[in-house]
Each structure stands twice: as structure tokens, then as C-alpha cells.
Amino acid sequence: MHLVAARDERVDDVRADEAGASGYDRPHAPYRTASVFLSLEGVDGSGKTTQAGLLAEALRADGREVVATREPGGTRLGEEVRELLLEGVEMSAWAETTLFAAARAELAERVIAPALAAGNDVVCDRYIDSSLAYQGIARGLGLERVLELNLTVTNGLLPDRTFLVLVDPGVAFERTKRSDRIELEGEAFHRAVDEAYRSLAEMFPERITTVDGNRPAEEVAEEIRGRLRELS
Ligand code: TYD
């Protein structure tokens, strides 16, 4: 679809870092030339944190400057909000959603946007899709409303590409430490999050790439690197 769209446009109408730019219209691929914002998503126990680390390492091995960060957290305020969210008292679903959004606003403005502006890549362990899956869909607050809130607080800063690590939900649930407030929700919630992520991947196929996480970590990492290269 991108190729067709790009061919219909004049070459100079398409910036090299735009999603609509085809390989024919630019001298180098965006992955090679421009900073790229990548996020890793998945249910608890999916192995996405391991994959975020391996992806950042691979980009660095390619000579790229990478800022690796995580959510909730990644800033001083964000780490404090993380404590409240994961270790704190019970809270209403909207209180939870807005706290995640507050941590994300801080991370987007103080870490992600400046890093991209400085030409670094950013690899984020969880981002907006976590709120869409956990709060928007699984907690039933509404995808549209949670998306709107998050686009507002981040100034519309979305990843160039999101890798969603899919695993058998039963296996992932067994793997979770069940140590924080959200992990303690139980298996029905965990399965609802898994389904929510799968529907997000169908809704946003241009941005979200799914990978089969039911394999050794190095194999999954290899697939993610390959998918990223394909985008170049
Ligand atoms: P995570 O960092 O994956 O936990 P850990 O590092 O302990 O494995 O995420 C913490 C929890 O917060 C996880 O259960 C998912 C949840 N979460 C949301 O519900 N919404 C969000 O927007 C984010 C970022 C996380």
C-alpha cells in the first residue's frame, strides 16, 4: 500500500523519514538514516523486556546511538508514579489510566522527543499500546477515549514501529511473578489483555508488527531484526 501511495506522489512530496516513502524514492532507508522510535509490547510474561534489551543491543552493534527506556518509569517522576501504580493502594480505573498517562507525558517530553531530535534511536519497553490494551480494552474504559488522552499528553508522539510479542496466554500467565498490583489481577484479566493486544494489531497493521514469542529469545530477536530491516 505504501509503495502505491508513494508512487502517486511526487518524489519531493515525500520526506525520506515518512512512512509513505518507498525504497525507490530515497537514497537510503529511514532505519539507516533517520532516528527511529520503536516500542515493544506484550502481556506480562511475554518476554518483551528481554526483546527490548536485545533490540537495543543489536542497534548499538550497528553503530547507532540508542536510548533504551521503559514504562511506567524512565524519568524521576515516572519512577515515582510507577511505585504508586504497581505497589500503591487500590485505585479507580481512570485514576490508574491518568497516572500511566502522566508518567508517559513526562517520558515523551523529557526523554523520547529530545532523543529523537538529537538523532538517537529510542527503544521503549511498553508505550501507548499498553494503556490501550490494559486500560482501554481490558478494563473497558474505551479504546477511543484512552487513545485520545494519550495522544494529547504525548503531543501525538507515536512509535514508528511497535513489535508485539505474542505468546500462549496460559504459558505467559504461568511465567509472571504476580508480584505487582496489575499482575495480581488473575488469569481472566491476563487473557483479556492478550485478546486486546491481538485486536490492536488488527486495527493498526501499519504500525504494529506481531512476532511469535513461543520460541527461544534469540530466535524471536532475530525475527524482530529481520522485520525491522524489511522496513528499511
Ligand atoms: P512492566 O514494566 O511490564 O512490569 P515488570 O517490569 O514488573 O515486568 O509493567 C508493569 C505493569 O503495568 C504491567 O502489568 C502492565 C501494566 N501497564 C498498564 O496497565 N498500562 C500501561 O500503560 C503500562 C505502561 C503498563
Nearest CA residue ID for atom 23, ligand 1: 130
Contact by Cβ (8 Å): 65, 152: no
In words, the CATH class of domain 35-230 is alpha beta
From the CB of 48, is ligand 1 less than 6 Å away? no
CA distances from 85 to 78, 151, 183, 189 (A): 10, 21, 11, 17
Read off the C-alpha cell for 86: 504497581
Query: What is the CA(3)–ligand 1 centre distance, in A?
Result: 36
Contact by Cβ (8 Å): 161, 128: no
Read off the C-alpha cell for 30: 529511514
Q: What is the pLDDT of residue 4?
A: 28
Read off the C-alpha cell for 119: 538523532
From the CB of 31, is ligand 1 less than 6 Å away? no
Residues 151 and 44: their CA atoms lie apart, in Å, by 24
User: Given the CA of residue 85, which atom of ligand 1 is nearest to it?
Assistant: 12
Measured over the CA atoms of residue 138, residue 139, residue 143 and residue 148, the dihedral's sign is negative
Contact by Cβ (8 Å): 89, 181: no
SS3 content of the chain, % helix, strand, coil (to 5): 55, 10, 35
Read off the C-alpha cell for 94: 481512570
Nearest CA residue ID for atom 19, ligand 1: 134
Q: What is the pLDDT of residue 7?
A: 26
- Domain borders along the chain are 35-230
Per-residue pLDDT of the chain (232 residues; tens, 9 = 90+): 232 233 233 333 334 444 443 333 334 444 556 899 999 999 999 999 999 999 999 999 999 999 999 999 999 999 999 999 999 899 999 999 999 999 999 999 999 999 999 999 999 999 999 999 999 999 999 999 999 999 999 999 999 999 999 999 888 988 887 888 888 888 999 999 999 999 999 999 999 999 999 999 999 999 999 999 998 7
Contact by Cβ (8 Å): 159, 41: no
From the CB of 180, is ligand 1 less than 6 Å away? yes
From the CB of 134, is ligand 1 less than 6 Å away? yes
Query: What is the CA(26)–ligand 1 centre distance, in A?
Result: 38
Q: What is the pLDDT of residue 33?
A: 62
Ligand 1 pocket mutation pick from 39, 86, 106, 125 by most atoms within 8 angstroms of CB: 86
Residues 182 and 190: their CA atoms lie apart, in Å, by 9
Q: What is the pLDDT of residue 32?
A: 53
Q: What is the pTM of this model?
A: 0.87
**If DSSP codes are grouped into helix, strand and coil, which group holds residue 115?**
helix
Phi, psi of 100 (to 5 degrees): -60, -40
Q: Which region, left, alpha or beta, applies to residue 177 given φ > 0 means left and ψ of -120 to 50 means alpha?
A: alpha
Burial of 176-197, coded b for 16+ CB within 10 Å and e otherwise, reads beeeeebbebeeebbbbbbebb
Residues 107 and 69: their CA atoms lie apart, in Å, by 9
Read off the C-alpha cell for 108: 515523551
